[in-house]
Amino acid sequence: MDLNSIKPDQVLDAKGLTCPMPMLKTKKTLKGMAAGQILEILGTDPGSKNDIPDFGNKGGNEFLGLVDHPDGYTRYFIRKG
């Protein structure tokens, strides 16, 4: 899947936040979304590169991938299951 062409239904800006806030906010935002919708998370915490993919595949959700943005943050995509 080409991540750059994904049109997310919601974007969560977690830039500058460190563990555990990006995870908590991701979990909270996903709870408010409908099945099949896609959440994009913007983050700068290096720990998120392990945590968000692991968490994104839990509970029926699907982690679609991550891509580094040239401005120094990372974009993560999760499809709510």
Partner 1 sequence: MGHDSIVSSVKNEIRKNYAAVFEQNWPVWLAGLFLAVLALQIYLWGESPWGIAGGYRNWGDWILYLAGVYDHHPTFAPWLSPMSLSNFGLFTGALISALMSRQFKVRRAPMFEYVKALAGGILMGTGAVLAAGCNVGGFYTAMAVFDMGGIAMMFGLGAGAYLGLKYLLWEMEHLPQDWFKINTKARPATAGMGWQAAQPFAGAGLLLAVVGAFYLYAFLGKTVSGGLLFLGFLIGFVMHRARFCFVRAFRCPLMTGEADTVKAVALSLMVYGLGAAVIKWSYIQDPMTGVYHNFWMGSLIGGVIFGVGMLLAGGCASSTLWRVGEGNTKLLVTLFAFALTNSSFAALMKKIGLFDKLGNGVFLPDVISWYLAIPVFIIFLLIWTFVAIWNEDSEKFVIF
Please, what is the minimum distance in Å from the beta carbon of residue 10 to partner 1? 14
3-class DSSP state of 6: coil
User: Does the active-site annotation cover 19?
Assistant: yes
Q: Which of 32, 54, 57, 67 binds partner 1 (CB under 8 A)?
A: 54
Q: Which two tokens stand for residue 16?
A: 């500058």
Q: Which two tokens stand for residue 67?
A: 């891509």
* End-to-end Cα separation, the chain, in angstroms: 18
Residues with active-site annotation: 19
Binding site for partner 1 (CB under 8 A): 13, 15-21, 23-25, 27-28, 44, 46-47, 50, 54-55, 58, 70-72
